[in-house]
Structure 1
Amino acid sequence: LTIMSPFVKVISNEGETFEVDIKAIKMSQTVKTMFEALGVDENRNDLEPIPFPLVDSATLKKIIAYCEHHKNDARPNFQRKGCISNWDFEFLANEPRMLISIIMAADYLEIQSLRRIAGIFVHHQITGKPLKRI
């Protein structure tokens, strides 16, 4: 018997709807604060969908994947200062436009751990490169 976690629907700025585990989406401080302010019962599966007007569908899929992967983390795992996991590295190794979209969405949704690993990733990508290549 598998117990399903409650979920909520989120909507991209293109109108596409995704179901996401509530525990996962609460990695977003924006969502967590909204739930607390509105007194949302997180054990229900009939919550109103949450629109994210500044996040497109492709980026929202990536954000959901990140949150689902890390939802059970006790706290962000940075083995050594400036290091990120292989999974996180692969997650962020996108073409530049998608990486920028992920960073902007992480900022908009206040996903602190994603902002931090994205900063480390970008730092490693640009360190030692001439300005014209960046």
Structure 2
Amino acid sequence: MRENSENILTEYLIKHPEEEDHYKLYHKYKNDPRLTKIGNFLRKSSLDELPQILNVIKGDMSLIGPRPYMLDERSKIGNSADIILVVKPGITGLWQVSGRNDVNFKSRIEMDIWYVRNWSFGLDIQILFKTILVVLGKKGSY
């Protein structure tokens, strides 16, 4: 992130109000002005996720599972949090291989619930292989 990122974002949203609507739906900015060129590259290539491997080694995360939700997103999840938060968060999951950032927030929650209720080792293997294809294809990455 750039220094003074919140001011940069505020100025950007004044000039591009449609991005705010996009954020409300997807919880991501397609052209996040707060990112440096290196940060943008790391995010688009998914290399920004690599440090989370340390969380997997520590036992705080799984390779596959629902993505961790931000604290401010918890209230938007509602009662679904009781289902989703039963399992450890993962570096990759069902919605990441089903469209990545092109999947809206409501659909992410629905897919996370479906994953928790239908978990199997075979499902995790499918998600793992699809993750490799999705990362290499870079579709929906921003």
**Scaled by the length of structure 2, what TM-score is found?**
0.25
**Scaled by the length of structure 1, what TM-score is found?**
0.26
Higher helix residue share: 2
